Amino acid sequence: MDTFLGRYKNLVVLAAILFAQIIGLALQVRRPVQTGGETRLIRLWAISAVTPIEGAVVHAQKWAHWAWSNYAYLRGVRRENRELRAQIERMKIDEARLSEDARMARRVQTLLAFKEQYVENTIAAQVIGTSGSEQSRVLYLDKGSRDGIKTDMAVITPNGIVGKIVQVFPTSSQVLPINDQFSGVGAMLKDTRLQGILKGAQNGTTTLQYIMSDEKVEPGEEVLTSGGDRIFPKGLPVGNVVTVEPGKDLFLNIRVVPAARLDQVEEVLIVTKIMEKMPDAKDLAPIRAADILAERLPTVPTKPANAATGTSTPAGTAASPNAARPAATGAASNKPAGGAATLPGAKPTGVATTPRSTQGTTAVVAPGTAAGTAKPGATTPAKQLTGEGTTATGSIKPKATPAQSEPVSGAAPSKANPQTPLNDDTSTPPPKKAQRPPEQTPPANPDQVAKPPAAEPPQP
């Protein structure tokens, strides 16, 4: 026996080590490996020992990058700032249009008693590590149970979903990304609303499965979360369809490229609270265009009643029924009205009148003023805005609330109702003459021309 062990000592040791590991494997497989809340103690020790080092390295690198990008490397910031401002202007216009669509959708959902899911709370986290192998694609985050992280929380980025939390440690957590071969996400196609399961593969690709082969799916179609997995809220972007091929068992093989860059993700958001509620019922009431305009446009502080006299230009927005009447004559309204709230690229829209203009619902809109909020190409129909069939551009109800009676910036004052100052432009000369300095403009009748107030703050 001693001779045998001595001769085959190496092989015996190898066999013993392998046998022990196989027994260990069998014990792990016999018990469920992925139990969610349970974590093997040795894994906890190892990960707790390593993740602080990784976190320190990542944060040091991030600090160095931050110092470089914020202090040392500022080339092109001005140009980028200009571009971003222009982008914000465009997005504001789009946002106004989209918010109207959202309101309408909420009203419809309320009528149909749908419940919506909202991502209420998120925690930002930093990716500090990976599994380091091709067989497993798990990620490690620098937030753990001390930060309120729990298993099965959704991990997302602004571009799309990333995965879910599978294990939580005190100062770190482990994410199973959607392209891991053991991952599965309830997903649906955005246009056709077909639902399936998005599964990862060993090579890191993701496929949408369980879509019947007789369905028509086009490449490029967007894939959203369906909410069926009870982890991701419904409607989050998942990715786009790349290829559609007939698969086995009467199902299509739809390959999806994830919207989030899973191989280069660095910062993520962990969804810690999802709220489910009914849409707000207050939106059920019809919304008037005046309300929308009052929300979108900047407000003007109220002036004393005698601050304005009868100098008014025809061009402008009327706030009172009487004010609108003399202005509702097309030619004069095409005068450019000076003032704020001009939007880049806004076309002159001229007069927007309706058959009800005699009742004071007419709004004469100067180019670049209030009507300019309805951007050329803005597709919000007038009926959606007012609900009463009036034209959307600046139509104001006779029974104006205080918010509505506050005029649109840049609008001209009313001649017929001089006691009601509309805005600060009330006391200024007409726009054409306002191009010249006031002292060079001889008034035809000085008694009827108001002097501009001395300490008038500039209008936004």
Cα–Cα dist 238/455, whole Å:
56
Q: Is there binding between residue 131 and another protein (CB under 8 A)?
A: yes
- Note whether 24 binds another protein by CB under 8 A: yes
| Cross-strand pairs, 423 | none
Pick one of 5, 91, 98, 201: the residue that binds another protein (CB under 8 A).
Answer: 201
**Residue closer to another protein (CB basis): 50 or 307:** 50
Are the beta carbons of 287 and 387 closer than 8 angstroms? yes
Q: Cα(322)–Cα(312) distance, rounded to whole angstroms?
A: 13
Q: Are the C-beta atoms of 173 and 141 separated by less than 8 Å?
A: yes
> Mask 387-426, x = binds another protein (CB under 8 A)?
----------------------------------------
Q: Which two tokens stand for residue 138?
A: 């798990």
Query: Which one of residues 5, 28, 82, 95 is an interface residue with another protein (CB under 8 A)?
Result: 28
CB of 212 vs another protein, minimal distance in Å: 23
> Minimal distance in Å, beta carbon 264 to another protein?
6
CB 298 within 8 A of CB 409: yes
According to DSSP, the β-strands at 222-225 and 173-177 are unpaired
Is 33 a binding residue for another protein by CB under 8 A? The answer is yes
> Segment contacting another protein (CB under 8 A): 19-27, 294-302, 310-318, 419-427?
19-27
| For another protein, the closer CB: 139 or 408 | 139
Please list every residue from 110 through 129 that binds another protein, using CB under 8 A: 127-129
| Minimum separation from the CB atom of position 158 to another protein (A) | 19
Output b/e per residue, 168-205; b: 16+ Cβ within 10 A: bbebbbbbbbbbbeebbbbbbbbeeebbbbbbbeeeee
Indicate left, alpha or beta for 148 from its phi (over 0: left) and psi (-120 to 50: alpha). Answer: left
Strand partners, 243: 255
Q: List binders of another protein among 156-195 (CB under 8 A).
A: 166-167, 174, 176, 180-182
- Residues that bind another protein (rule: CB under 8 A) add up to a total of 52
Does 56 contact another protein by CB under 8 A? no
Is the CB of 127 or the CB of 328 nearer to another protein?
A: 127
Q: How far is the CB of 26 from another protein (least distance, A)?
A: 8
The b-or-e profile of 98-121 (16+ CB within 10 A means b, else e) is eebeebeebbeebeeeeebbebee
Kindly state the DSSP code that residue 148 receives in the 8-state scheme: T
- What residues from 57 to 116 belong to the interface with another protein (CB under 8 A)? 57-58
Name the residue among 445, 118, 404, 112 with its Cα closest to residue 310. Answer: 445
* Residue 25 contacts another protein per CB under 8 A: yes
The C-alpha angle with vertex 400 and arms to 108 and 109, in degrees rounded to 5, equals 5
272 binds another protein, rule: CB under 8 A = no
Tokens read off for 80: 């980028």
Q: Where on the chain is the footprint of another protein (CB under 8 A)?
A: 9-10, 13-14, 17-18, 21-22, 24-26, 28-29, 33-34, 39-40, 42-43, 46-47, 50, 53-54, 57-58, 127-136, 138-140, 166-167, 174, 176, 180-182, 201-203, 263-264, 266
